[in-house]
Amino acid sequence: MNILVLSRNRNLYSTRRLVEAIEAAGHTGRVVDVIRCTMDITSARPAIFYKGEKIDRVDAVIPRIGASITLYGTAVVRQFEMMGVYSVNESVAIGRSRDKLRSLQILARAGVGLPVTGYAHSPDDIKGLIKLVGGAPLVIKLLEGTQGRGVVLAETNKAAESVIDAFRELDANFLLQQYVREAGGADIRCFVIGERVVAAMQRQAADGEFRSNLHRGGTASLVKLTPQERATAVKAAKKMGLNVAGVDLIRSDSGAQVLEVNSSPGLEGIEKATGKDVAGLIVDFIEKNARPHRTRTRGRG
């Protein structure tokens, strides 16, 4: 099989591991920077050119689309879909997961456990919005933030009001979320492939920090999931339409609650914490499922 990894940086751990796993399985792997792709958009013979050369004879693509290039990146993935190429994660599903508000609405509609969340464009009643999520301490998240950036913990209602005022002055889109004390600054990254959790790690925030992201100094360790946590992670990924996903959840007194569903989950932390060949499992999934013109969502939002 000819498999493309759509990534802007071939030296990233995740990109390197995917290419290694592709080649170890006897396939041909190639890294393609989506920003350098040119699309010929026609109804008869859609095509993609990379550095001036037409891309053809591709069996599957693995999108590793960064948040900053979501719009163009998903357009390239969609073009591959139009060409009949199998995409591990489809363009519609990636777009859903990148829209934090939309993804939470989809999960809430499906009955997936979530922290209490409030959203308003220009809330005149700030105190009412704060009260909606249970008051301070509470978490304020920019809708465009990634890897813990744009996430603020407000310890008091006054602090929350100040942060909200600042975000409104910047014309930023944000949401408020209940702070789950019993989680203790820890969350669980569940790596879902297909309809099962293949690996999981607990991430603990560094001292003085509430964000558990490894990029923020958090530490990772093995964790044993409950059946309810596994079912929650799989359901969240499925409702997003993602075949490969990193589902972040926390343990609360009311059970597992999903924080986010990531369509391009990193491999370094999860592979080192669990010792599992997650990249190889992704390639196994492609071998079993890649078929021409096999697009499940077919453009549905």
pLDDT at 300 over 80: no
- Gap between the terminal Cα atoms of the chain: 30
Residue 97's alpha-carbon distances to 33, 39, 69, 112, 124, in angstroms, are 21, 24, 14, 15, 29
**What are the structure tokens assigned to 164, written together?**
């909200």
Burial of 52 (0-12, 13-18, 19+ CB in 10 A): exposed
C-alpha span between 51 and 19 (Å, rounded): 20
Percent of the chain with pLDDT over 90: 72
* Cβ pair 263, 90 in contact under 8 A: no
Note the pLDDT of residue 134: 92
- The domains of the chain, with CATH numbers, are 2-96 (3.40.50.20), 117-179 (3.30.1490.20), 183-286 (3.30.470.20)
Over range 206-220, report the average pLDDT. 62
Note the pLDDT of residue 299: 47
C-alpha span between 71 and 67 (Å, rounded): 9
Element of type H or E holding 227 = helix 227-240
Q: How confident is the model at residue 147 (pLDDT cuts 50, 70, 90)?
A: low
Please write the tens of the pLDDT for every residue from 55-113.
999 999 999 999 889 999 999 999 999 999 999 999 999 999 999 899 999 999 999 99
DSSP class of 114: -
Q: How confident is the model at residue 145 (pLDDT cuts 50, 70, 90)?
A: low
Burial of 287 (0-12, 13-18, 19+ CB in 10 A): middle
Element of type H or E holding 93 = helix 91-98
Please write the tens of the pLDDT for every residue from 253-282.
989 999 999 999 999 999 999 999 999 999
This prediction's pTM: 0.89
How much is the mean pLDDT over the chain?
A: 90
